[in-house]
Structure 1
Amino acid sequence: MSIETTPSSTPDPEWERIVGGYLNAPGEAPVEKQTTSVDLMGDTPLTPAWTKTRTGWKSRAEVGRVNTVRGFRKWLRRQATEHGHASQIGRGIRRTVLWVQGTEGAQVLAARYEVQQTQRDYKAAKWAHDRRLMPGKEKEKRRREMEGAFADSASAMSKYRSAQRDARMRRAVRGVAALTPIAGVEGASLQLLGTPGGLAATAATLATFALIGRRTTAGELYTDRDAKIGDGDRMTDDMVNRVYRDARVIAADDTLRLSTPCTLTADGKAWQVVFQLPSGTPAKKALGAREGIANGFGVSVQQVHQTRGDREDTIHLRVSLKLPFSTKPTRGPLLDAERVNLWQPIRMGVNLRGEEVITSWVERSGLFGGEPGSGKSAAANDLLLAAALDPTVRMYLADGKAGADITPFEPIATMYDTDGDPDKLLDILQYMWDVEIKERRALAKEHGSRKLTEAMAAVDPRVCLAVLLVDEWSSYGAAADQKTRQEMERLLRLIVQQGRALGIISLAATQKPDSDSVPTGIRDILSIRWAMRCLTPQASDTILGQGYASAGHNAQDILKSQRGVGIYMDGEGAEPELVRGDYYDDDEVAAILGRAYSLRQEAGTLPLGPLDRLRAAGEDGEILATLFGLYPEGVEMLPTARVTEGLAAAGHPVTADRLAVLVPRTDEEKRRQEVSGSKVSVYPLTAVRRAVLDRYDIGL
């Protein structure tokens, strides 16, 4: 039986992807493959190419400066413990003295004890011989015992003196062995280098004693068992394994298999590593242990970021040196963009690695959620402002909280509601379903396709995208009766479902993510999710999907100071990631929308204003539009004679009777009013507005 194997020369796409991430800095052109002797399979450390660049040196120098300060503080704290250098030197000196003394001391003590014992025996035998009256034979026996004890005592004394001489000799040899190097180094250094040399030799001697005494009495060493990234220590393989063991992710006898070395990112702002979990350990267990892992690294939870790899046993770990997204946002790219093509992917912000998060909104829809003040409206602006700079995009905007977030978009919006009026939202949805969807279906059928594409838009100007934003649906639902609410839900669901292929991008935003704010049937079909800071894990799961909070993607962990930051999920199967949206203040929004207005004016795609729609309604509409323009700013009524003269001058000769039919007045409005000292018939501006609204449903 033969076994097929992959030749060693066959490229490994997965390995090339991992290595490419370390060879290239974010935003830089790929580094050419190097033909060096470096073993890319992991036997030798893999050095990122960016470290040899000017940016790399600068980044490492800054990191080195910060870590030097942290290391010095940590060294000071260490001196008060048994691992301090003074304690180590003291233990080293004591252990050296004990080594010089050696074990011969015990032998001398044993010989001395034997001498003392034999002398006591001799004295006892002599006393028994000298002090007692006894027969001759007994006396002779005592004499022989006394003589034997004396001989034993003399032999013991001889052994004792021999042991003393041997001990002194060996201690002298060990003492010479211990002191000769010290004396030699000190003397040579003083002779060759003078006082500086003597000081250097003394430092070397103390360092040697510290090395000898590095272990405590209990046998413990000062190693990276206590090292933490938060204290300025570098990430090591041992540290990563220790942290995941302490966090109960892996067992005490398990080991993580590192796919890449522990290295700083190209910008020097974080440590990162890719590793594989032991067999049988699910990635969900590691993703859900952020608190324990952060504790082990000595950082906050917000500084630990883990994502699943392409396999269930692979984890990409990033530990930031500082709290992410705590600095001022950078300048938004739309400020320098002349125009945008929304058919192409657009930037929605930056992730932890400083990389742009690019998203294609074609055939997509989105849900943005988070507590008030979390930056939800600013995040939604990233899409709206980009859509505004595409002069072909139609915009339908509704704000249920009646705020000012979409007010600046009114001049370019096809339809909008900034009053939180359910009837106005229903009109917008009804128009989109009856007019927009219908026209787009006809266009797709005309082009022989099931959906509208950028290729069609390039040859047919009628093909374009549309954006529908519904902010705070719950406010609309609370203000509407049951029949209106059900109809709004039905239309919105149809628009989201069927408008996706017809170029309609639907976006819902809410401060309270639950089934009341966005109906479940609608929320489940919104593909792109962005969860800003939430008050509970359940609220986070409502936006991202059930189970994401327990898997480490919990928007409750986002700090209040991290405004505009949220967990972003693009709906294409990738793991959610922490992203900060681009921020534009009111002046910047006004500048962008001013450019958008000019673009649409040049392209002829500005939505029809109330007067334009009135003029398009026929001859009577043109007369009413001209009549409305006769009123100067601040003037609320005009004499009938002046009205008829102004209309005649504009090419609309209208009799008083026809004018009375076009603009019906109440009995109170028909009363003569005093103008320039005389009472005349007048037409109030309110009567003109009421006539236009009643007849054409157009508000002026």
Structure 2
Amino acid sequence: MSIETTPSSAPDPDWERLVAGYLNAPGEAPVEKPATSVDLMGDTPLTPAWTKTRTGWKSRAEVGRVNTVRGFRKWLRRQATEHGHASQIGRGIWRVALWVQGTEGAQVTAARHEVQQTQKDYKAAKWAHDRRLMPGKEKEKRRREMEGAFADSASAMSKYRSAQRDARMRRAVRGVAALAPIAGVEGVGLQLLGAPGGLAATAATLATFALIGRRTTAGELYTDRDAKIGDGDRMTDDMVNRVYRSAKVIGSEDVVKLLSPCTLTADGSAWEVRLELPDGIPASKALGATPQLANGFGVSVQQVSQAKGEREDWLTLRVTLKVPFTGKPKRGPLLTVETVNLWEPVPTAVSERGDVMAVEWFEKTALYGGEPGSGKSAAANNPLLSAAMDVTADLYLADGKGGFDLSPFEEIAQMIDTDGDPEKLLAILRHVWEEVLPELKQTVKDHRVRKFSEALAAQDERVRFTILFIDEWASYMAAASQEQQKELDRLLRLITQQGRAYAMIVIAATQKPDSNAVPTGIRDILSTRWAGRCMTPEASDTILGKGRASAGYNAQRILKSQRGVGYLQTGETSEPVLTQSYFYTDEEVEVILRRAYELRKAAGVLPVAVEPEVTILDHLIKAATATGQGNVSRAEAFDYLATVDAEFVQGDGETDAAYATRAGTAIKARLDAMGVDVPVATMQRGAQRPRGWRLDDLTAANSNIR
């Protein structure tokens, strides 16, 4: 593979960024480019700077140890095949022996056959000559034939012996040529180093025989064409091209161009390479062939990830050495920060490369989806907890499951429903639409601006974030009447469409966000998407968008052991990114929300507690309960009411009779205003029989109006 450098007179920004990526470890600040020109292919090769540190050497040593063990195991498996070194040495000795034997044996055999044939002819001629009853002339003829056959036999024997002598001489010369180096090496080794030298010479001789016998009888050589990362092999250019060809991404004659070398990441957890696809092959074809690529690399489909580059033909291929995100999730940053500013990107997850995935929430809405147990609630907790740590954010929360996920937010939420009551959700949406949003719109008009901004927030404290979070919208719709369903749909649609410019963030979470769970008109305008594990590719597409699963972003492939893992797609990333959300335990959530409560208390932005109205009937019940007798007289009721209501305080100069009449009339008027008629009963107070109210009558009247 060749790497072209860009002339200094015409620098290439992409090349500079690529070089910077290889000179720095992940997460480190870029190294300043030296003022002098540097030959990148000369004295300073593309070696990451971290490799020269103590951590780098330790990581490289560990990688070397693992690769050595894997290489030895692979060597052992190879020995049982015809490519094993024992087989190679045997073939080498046999081939050397055949060379020493030579082809003279064929000439000796031919000469022997000729001798045998002439001897047979001589015996036949002699037998014919030795017959006695034969005319003289015929006898003479047979004698001449016998003598000729004898001469031919003698000549053939001479040729045979000459061929034997020539074969022995040639074999001896070749034998000396074959054995002399072996003997010489052995002698020199023994002379210089003794027994170790002899062993070394023997090893060299065997290595030579193995080299001679490297090619099998069929002419095949050992090759690592089937090398796989899953077997411990290193990623190479040939491997990448072989796998992409076998996956039918490129043709059998096509070649992918590597924009960077195949390198092991700094932490030794994955192989990475940037590549360019041949002309006419879109990136979507490669993205959709992830299972086939995983098969070629010998790993699980979860270990292969591809990301589109700046161009349609650029890809970044990453193959991890083990299934990612199967360990403990990373510690969330909210445990250590003092405050959060929602005007800035908020860290919510980490990618496979360990990069922090930060999401901008201004002018954004979000949809979280995934089957039960996929970590959807934990993922959605990240923006909620971040908003809780920003004192300029007002929370309006609703849980259609009627669970306890949102209960810890009750003290800081402006309005909250944890019962899954459609009427309560309707009250929340009406309040946001009729009171909150008009006030935010008026703020924009007062400043004559188009939308909210951080600069405007510094000028006017009325500029605040509004977080509307609804979990399991389908549950609300299932429990609501038809009229309530229409009103809920109308209000949520209006708030979602009009609230973006006024820092209103709508977040919906559901198990399967189809048209029944989240209305299509609302789901389509929710910009940020998070797809946890799904049962089908269609469910994954429902969250991320049609065609994403076939393009390689299929949440069905997420394993159950990968809790909190999902594809995150934001307005900042054109393609979904596989991430693992930060996870906070119940205890950590309490710690964060306790700090959020103190921050809001210090800023004076805690929700105003609405005290329930205490009616005259409540006062009478408390007075009757305080007597411990199951009833209360008028005088006892007047004394109690005088301590909680100034209207029942006896005025100066007011007679007892006048006071009793006025107080009794006031009680009757208030009860009538409530639509309650409590009978005035006579009760026993020692020797007296005063008039008053019984506790049973008061309690019954109270239960009728509640």
TM-score (norm 2): 0.88
What are the equivalent positions in structure 2 for 1:104-123 lying under 5 Å apart?
A: 104-123=104-123
Report if the CA contact (8 A) 2:631-2:693 is conserved. no
Q: Which position in structure 2 is the counterpart of 1:521?
A: 521
Structure 2 vs 1, CA of residues 183 and 252 (structure 1 numbering), >3 Å: closer, same or farther? same
Q: What displacement does 1:270 show?
A: 0.1
2:499 alignment partner, SS class: helix
Q: Note closer, same or farther for the CA distance 1:226–1:7 as it changes in structure 2 (3 Å cut).
A: closer
Instruction: Tell me the equivalent position of 2:39.
Output: 37
* Aligned-pair CA distance for 1:667: 6.1
SS at match of 2:306: strand
Q: Residues of 1 paired with 2:87 and 2:416: CA distance? A: 76
Alignment of 1:540-559 (within 5 A): 540-559=540-559
Distance 1:634 1:334 in 2: 49
User: Which amino acid is 1:202 matched to?
Assistant: T
**Percent identical:** 65
Instruction: Give the secondary structure class of the aligned counterpart of 1:275.
Output: strand
1:194 aligns with 2:194: yes
2:464, 2:295 → 1: CA distance? 52
Q: Which amino acid aligns with 2:48?
A: P
Cα distance between partner residues in 2 of 1:234 and 1:471: 46
**Secondary structure at the residue paired with 1:594?**
helix
Q: CA deviation at 1:25?
A: 1.4
Q: Which moved more, 1:246-255 or 1:157-166?
A: 157-166
What code does the residue aligned with 1:493 have? R
Change in CA separation of 1:146 and 1:437 when aligned onto 2, cut-off 3 Å: farther
Q: Is the CA contact (8 Å cut-off) linking 2:532 and 2:555 kept in structure 1?
A: yes
- The residue number in structure 1 matching 2:653 is none
> How high is the TM-score relative to the length of structure 1?
0.88
Q: Is the 8 A contact 2:617 2:698 kept in 1?
A: no
Change (3 A) 1:141 1:672: farther
More displaced 10-residue stretch of structure 1: 649-658 or 63-72 = 649-658
Pair 667,130 (structure 1): closer, same or farther in 2 beyond 3 Å: farther
Q: Which amino acid aligns with 1:159?
A: K
Distance change in 2, residues 1:623/1:102 (3 Å):
same
Name the stretch that deviates more: 504-513 or 558-567: 504-513
What is aligned with 1:102? 102
Shift of 1:674: 11
Question: Is 1:394–1:467's contact at 8 Å kept on the other side of the alignment?
Answer: yes
The question of whether the paired residues in 2 share the 8 Å contact of 1:71 and 1:231 is answered with no
Summarize the Cα distance change of 1:630–1:324 in structure 2 as closer, same or farther, 3 Å threshold. Answer: farther
Secondary structure (helix, strand or coil) at the match of 1:9 reads coil
- Cα shift readout 1:121-178 (whole Å, capped 9, x = no counterpart): 4444444454496666665555555444444444433333333223222322222222
How far off its partner does 1:275 sit? 1.3
Give the aligned partner of residue 698 of structure 1.
none
Which stretch has the larger CA shift, 332-341 or 140-149? 140-149
1:314-393 equivalences under 5 Å are 314-393=314-393
For structure 2, the 5+ residue unaligned runs are 1-5, 649-662
Match of 2:173 in 1: 173
- Equivalent position SS for 2:410: helix
Structure with the greater alpha carbon radius of gyration: 2
Q: Which residue does the alignment assign to 1:597?
A: 597
Range with bigger deviation, 493-502 or 124-133: 124-133
Q: Which residue does the alignment assign to 1:312? A: 312
Q: 1:642 to 1:499 in 2, by over 3 A?
A: farther
Closer/same/farther in 2, CA of residues 682 and 217 from structure 1, 3 Å limit: same
Q: Structure 1, unaligned stretches of length 5 or more?
A: 1-5, 615-620, 695-700
1:242-293, Cα deviation, whole Å (9 max, x unpaired): 1122222222222221111111011110001111222222222211112221
Instruction: Give the Cα separation in 2 of the matches to 1:198 and 1:647.
Output: 116
Deviation at 1:682, TM superposition (A): 5.0
Contact 2:621 2:698 in 1 (8 A): no
CA deviation map 1:360-388 (0-9, x unaligned):
11101111100000000000001000000
Instruction: Count the aligned residue pairs.
Output: 676
Residue type at the aligned position of 1:584:
Y
3-state SS of 2:534 partner: coil
Provide the residue aligned with 2:425 in structure 1.
425
More displaced, 289-298 or 574-583? 289-298
- C-alpha displacement at 1:688, in angstroms? 11
* Residues 396, 673 of structure 1: alpha-carbon distance in 2 compared, 3 angstrom cutoff: farther
CA shift in 2, pair 1:101/1:437, >3 Å:
same
Q: Once the two structures are superposed, what CA deviation does each residue of 1:28-59 show, in whole Å capped at 9, x if it has no partner? A: 1112336543339xx99732222222222222
Any idea what SS the aligned residue of 2:395 has? strand
CA distance in 2, matches of 1:259, 1:675: 100
Q: Give the Cα–Cα distance (whole angstroms) in 2 for the partners of residues 435 and 552 of structure 1.
A: 44
Q: What amino acid sits opposite 1:39 in the alignment?
A: M
CA distance in 1, matches of 2:235, 2:640: 82
Equivalent residues of 1:510, 1:517 under 8 A apart? yes
8 Å contact kept, 1:529–1:571 = no
- Counterpart Cα distance in 1 of 2:390 and 2:278: 50
Question: Retained in 2: the 8 A contact 1:31–1:49?
Answer: no
> Residue 202 of structure 1: CA displacement?
2.5
Of residues 132-141 and 541-550 in structure 1, the stretch that sits farther from structure 2 once superposed is 132-141
Pairwise CA RMSD: 3.4
Task: Encode CA deviations 1:510-554: one digit per residue, 9 max, x unaligned.
Answer: 112322111111111111111000000000000000111011110
